Amino acid sequence: MTASPATSGQKSVAILGATGSIGQNTLDLIRRANQEATGTAHDGPYRVDCLTAGSRVEDLAALAREFRPRQIAIANEGALTTLRGLVADLDCQVAAGKTGLDEAAAGSSDWVMAAIVGAAGLSPTLQAVRQGKTVVLANKECLVCAGDLFMREVSAAGATLLPADSEHNAIYQVFDFDRPEAIESVTLTASGGPFRMASLDEMRRATPEQAVAHPNWSMGAKISVDSATMMNKGLEVIEAYYLFPVEKDQIEVLCHPQSVIHSFVTYKDGSTLAQLGSPDMRTPIAYTLAWPDRMAVPVTPLNLGALGQLTFETPDFSRFPLLKIAQVALQRGGLAPTILNAANEVAVSQFLHRKIGFLDIAEVVERVLESSESFDFGGIVLENLEQVMDVDARARVLATEMTAKLAVA
């Protein structure tokens, strides 16, 4: 089977994190659009140039067979030989490890979906940015751990950055970029997650299974736990600060359990503009895939009459301290968001492996931020990727020590 280059009129796409929830949703839209045009998944308005994954070789190989990319890459170097064997009959370059992922991201595609989870996605996403591509950001951790650096690189390369995160995609659709001074505030809505109504005692005993069972969205494990602690909204406040020309104190959070209003922008004249839709990530992804056009998406149509009412609550910081901790980290600036993100990644992973309790996640993040004063926080600007990864690594060591202490306590 031959991988052919994109023809004129085709959009050439790369999907970093193709085997994950966002990757699958993106490929679902591409599959449908191509099949409607040509009867096959691999040919049509979208030409899949590159797919990457963390370690799921069988899934990546199956996608390569279906979409016939020119190139695939797997983060786990130990899986390279297996992956090569699985796609030996395909005309497809296979790479592995950090270099493999970075090169794949910098390849010949015009449009890149950045959907690797965590700070691991920063380096390949930056490679795509440096080529001046259209980069669609699902991976919010990129902006949390290296926001200033990332946005400087976007400007320097003239890359186009489109947000896939539903809240930021909503704001992007109603934000008047020509008149940012006319904006009073942006409000990120939050579902409140599976523990919105839970007592602290119930949260203390929460299992990974309960934490990943999100009421409205089907997502990867890490972001599902972040939604349960509401750290996800904290990360999104930081993400919004870097994506939109607003001040830190102009970003607000409101709980909206139905997840229908995806976020809104309030203007100084009293107008509030919002974007609404069924909670299905294919809508914001489709916005970025077809941008600046619109494409048809088979989502459940929004039926406000059947819904009857939309409700709102202010967030409860006593049960969801990570939202406040993230807001404080943004105000503090310097290295704080980088440390916050790294500590949270470690703590969530330890919780998913049943090493610490659900409420310990916030405890770990708070303690790591407190004990990393020696990192010389204030006013520091991270100049390059190596510095970010160094701070990230040091914070991970501290977080691992903290979780070990909590695990035996």
Interface positions, 162-181, toward Mg ion (CB under 5 A): 165-167
What are the start-end ranges of the E strands in 212-311? Answer: 251-255, 261-267, 272-276
Continuous H helices in 47-165: 57-67, 80-86, 97-105, 122-130, 141-157
| Binds ligand NAD (CB under 6 A): choice among 53, 228, 289, 359 | 53
| 254 alpha-carbon distance from chain centroid | 20
Phi first, then psi, for residue 320 (nearest 5°) are -125, 65
Interacting partner of 315 out of Mg ion, ligand NAD, none (Cβ under 5 to 8 A depending on kind): none
Interface positions, 309-368, toward ligand NAD (CB under 6 A): none
Interacting partner of 17 out of Mg ion, ligand NAD, none (Cβ under 5 to 8 A depending on kind): ligand NAD
Quickly tell me which residue has 């949260």 as its tokens: 203
Of 118, 132, 104, whose CA–CA distance to 48 is shortest?
104
| Binds ligand NAD (CB under 6 A): choice among 14, 22, 29, 369 | 22
Interacting partner of 229 out of Mg ion, ligand NAD, none (Cβ under 5 to 8 A depending on kind): none
- The span from the CA of 336 to the CA of 104, in Å, is 31
What do you get for the CA distance between the two ends of the chain, in Å?
57
Strand partners, 94: 72
- Residue 65 CB, shortest distance to Mg ion, in Å, is 31
Interacting partner of 153 out of Mg ion, ligand NAD, none (Cβ under 5 to 8 A depending on kind): none
- The span from the CA of 334 to the CA of 339, in Å, is 10
Interacting partner of 107 out of ligand NAD, Mg ion, none (Cβ under 5 to 8 A depending on kind): none
- Of the two residues 224 and 372, which places its CB atom closer to Mg ion in the complex? 224
Each residue 125-154 as x (binds ligand NAD by CB under 6 A) or -, in order, gives -------------xxxx-------------
Integer-rounded Cα radius of gyration of the chain: 21
Interface positions, 73-102, toward ligand NAD (CB under 6 A): 75
| Binds ligand NAD (CB under 6 A): choice among 27, 64, 105, 120 | 120
CB atoms < 10 A from the CB of 235, how many? 27
Continuous H helices in 97-249: 97-105, 122-130, 141-157, 166-174, 200-204, 208-212, 221-229, 231-243
Residue 230 · residue 190 · CB < 8 Å = yes
Interface positions, 209-268, toward Mg ion (CB under 5 A): none
Region from 98-106, 161-169, 255-263, 355-363 binding Mg ion, contact rule CB under 5 A: 161-169
- Residue 259 CB, shortest distance to ligand NAD, in Å, is 11
Q: Does 217 bind ligand NAD (CB under 6 A)?
A: yes
- Of the two residues 67 and 375, which places its CB atom closer to ligand NAD in the complex? 67
Task: Give the residue closest to Mg ion by C-beta.
Answer: 165
Q: Does 193 bind ligand NAD (CB under 6 A)?
A: no
Q: In what order do the strands lie in the sheet containing 183-190?
A: 251-255, 183-190, 261-267, 272-276
Phi first, then psi, for residue 295 (nearest 5°) are -125, 160
- Residue 2 CB, shortest distance to ligand NAD, in Å, is 25
- Residue 188 CB, shortest distance to ligand NAD, in Å, is 12
Under the rule (CB under 5 A), what is the footprint of Mg ion? Answer: 165-167
Under the rule (CB under 6 A), what is the footprint of ligand NAD? Answer: 17-23, 53-54, 56, 75, 115-117, 120, 138-141, 165, 217, 219-220, 222-223, 281
